[in-house]
Amino acid sequence: MRSLRQRATAAWCVLALLGAAFAAQADEPAGWGYFGGNSDGSRYSSARQINRDNVGKLELAWKYSTGELARRSPELIANSSTQTTPVLVDGNLIFCTPFNRVIALDPATGLERWTHDPQVALDHQLPFQYNCRGVSAWHDPDAAPGSLCASRVLMGTADSRLIALDTGSGKRCPGFGTNGEITVTRAWPDKFPGEAKLTSAPVVVNGVVALGSAITDNIRSDAPPGTVFAFDARTGAARWHFDPIPQDPADPAYATWLEGSALRTGAANVWSTMVADEARGIIYAPVGSASPDFYGGMRKGDNLYSSSLVALDANTGKPIWHFQTVHHDIWDYDVSAPPLLAELRHGGTTVPAVVQNTKQGFVFVFDRVTGKPLFPIEERPVPQGGLPGEWLSPTQPFPVKPEPLVPTSITPDDAWGFTFWDKAQCRKKIEALRSEGIYTPPSAGEGTLLTPGSAGGANWGGAAFDPDRQLMIVNVNRVAQALQMIPRAEIPGIEGISLANGTDVAAATGTPYGTHRDWLLSPLGAPCTAPPWGELVAVDLADGSIRWRVPLGSIEKQLPIPIEWNLGTPNLGGPVVTAGGLIFIGATMDGFLRAFDIDSGKMLWRQEMPAGTQAAPMTYEADGRQFVAMVTGHHLWFDSTRGDEIVAFALPRER
């Protein structure tokens, strides 16, 4: 038997080894390996070099131009949106341009290492935009270290290809499909180039790469199907597919499409970013609404799995559980935000959770293994009385906690204006519209007030989560919309979507009605509802409470004299949370990148960017420094400043 001294010595040796292991882990540079930072989509970084005390000292570290402004015609740039978030993989900072050029940079200097241009088709007409939100990476466990494509980048394209590139060189992976690419083929053909495309970063789990489709909204009732496709990440061979609109009558969800409408309806597509529980082999898919957006008389029933969160078995594509956030969606309330996976302290224990933010401003929180809600969800009666031939669900699901993040009803008394005159004009607009709160059915004649609007609440940028504070940070839009359904005979020869003066008119062929949608604005161009028009909100996910909320964005560029006035603006793009107690976010119409204190919501720093900021930033460590990087450029729907630069900030080097 060993003596106490011998045992103590052995114990100290073990502790020393553990301490060394933890120290090595702590010293490992913080990275950003996924669109959402990690496979859980939490957009959280352990980097803490930049903190609340020194963030005001951030300075430009480097910037890099992709050259897209010079490469593309003004018409193509106008038909594009820059929404990409880079990833840091094997020491390379990698991202895609709206035209699917993939670029790898030195993360410390911004110097170009390699580029790859897949030569996407350039025949997509306005407004069927070019866009690439990101790329994904996969390390082949069976490949020899350092061999070609042992580490690879995977990207979907605007012309529906999936491409695999070697991370180190940008060369195509020869064993993947044909010449490093496969063509994704849907059951129904596109009506025009670009009607269906691949815009969001794929998700990779256990050697399976899965990706959804972006289907152009509101063009026709029989739009291409929103199939989720999965392929072997090494060979490109098809592994499985999941149809959110069930095609098999034996599937129980098929019965929620009355009169066999599942066989003639499209979309219900996963156009946003999926996330994965890699250990459990589960993919979480946010599914959009079925076609067309605002009239469902051709697809009566609840329409599962449209407008739902669906947990899929990563190996088979079979649904494990699902939750429909909108029954028979006729408001374009896609599940657009990426799900967020978190370990939540709930009911005296830690629960593996999945959090789903929605355009309605609702936050649904589930046990991610079972699908059981962690906060109660109630089916509540909603307004009835739809258009002739329409089918309406009598109830819709409402989470009891957290409270809605945006207003869900507007009355004439809520009208707002800079002056008595424009406030009075806004009141008249609201009085003229049908407005019975959220889920008021679309209408012809007087039109319907959509509150939230179809771009309201949380959108594709998603949320960020601080695991220590149990705090979710999410940006939301609070601007309402006016929607008028137009009888088919009154639509003057429009077959797609016509954009003019910030409004859109969509044909929605195959239905009795087209649509005219507009922001609810005063004659002076300001929203008719009280500011803030965009907000940053902190939600305590342990108890479901709202910790704080602050305006996001300034209207100074709309003023005769540019004075900072933080009334909030519409926004697209997500936040980043760091261990340094900071939130970084762009997203706003004013073109600034900002830093906020995560405990108070106080803005600590802002920097005007060279072009539009409708993307999500990221942060990482390289060469002993923490960087905050963001890609800037044009955004079609905001008509933001055109540009093609990625910009990185860091603290000054010690001298």
Round to whole Å and give the CA distance between 649 and 39: 25
Strand stretches in 48-189, DSSP E: 59-65, 80-81, 87-89, 92-96, 102-105, 112-116, 130-131, 136-139, 151-156, 161-166, 181-183
Round to whole Å and give the CA distance between 526 and 547: 28
Q: For residue 225, what are the contacts with CB-CB under 8 A and spacing of at least 6? A: 186, 187, 188, 243, 245, 266, 267, 268, 269
Q: Which of 166, 243, 302, 332 is catalytic?
A: 332
> Which of 269, 366, 274 lies closest to 322, judged by CA?
366
Round to whole Å and give the CA distance between 365 and 256: 24
Q: How far is CA 383 from the centre of its chain?
A: 29
Q: How far is CA 458 from the centre of its chain?
A: 8
Q: How far is CA 361 from the centre of its chain?
A: 14
Round to whole Å and give the CA distance between 217 and 652: 46
Round to whole Å and give the CA distance between 56 and 596: 11
Residue with tokens 């309806």: 265
Round to whole Å and give the CA distance between 376 and 470: 19
- Token pair belonging to 429: 């607009």
Round to whole Å and give the CA distance between 381 and 588: 35
DSSP 415: B
Q: What φ, ψ does residue 180 adopt, rounded to 5°?
A: 80, 15
E strand or H helix at 226: none
How do beta strands 44-45 and 576-578 pair?
Answer: parallel
Q: What φ, ψ does residue 84 adopt, rounded to 5°?
A: -85, 150
Strand stretches in 191-259, DSSP E: 196-197, 203-205, 208-211, 214-215, 228-232, 238-242
Distances (CA, A) of 551 to 189, 308, 454, 601, 605: 44, 29, 20, 9, 14
What are 566's strand-pairing partners? none
- DSSP per residue, 151-171: EEEEEE-TTSEEEEEETTT--
- Token pair belonging to 208: 């399976």
Task: Count the neighbouring beta carbons within 10 Å of the beta carbon of residue 575.
Answer: 27
Round to whole Å and give the CA distance between 483 and 429: 12
Round to whole Å and give the CA distance between 162 and 260: 32
Q: What φ, ψ does residue 267 adopt, rounded to 5°?
A: 65, -130
Round to whole Å and give the CA distance between 618 and 635: 19
- Token pair belonging to 107: 């993360």
> Which of 353, 329, 320 lies closest to 339, judged by CA?
353
> Which of 560, 551, 554, 553 lies closest to 532, judged by CA?
551
Task: Count the neighbouring beta carbons within 10 Å of the beta carbon of residue 594.
Answer: 24
Round to whole Å and give the CA distance between 361 and 457: 4
Q: Is 123 a catalytic residue?
A: no
Residue 215, burial from CB neighbour count under 10 angstroms (0-12, 13-18, 19+): buried
Q: Which are the catalytic amino acids?
A: 332
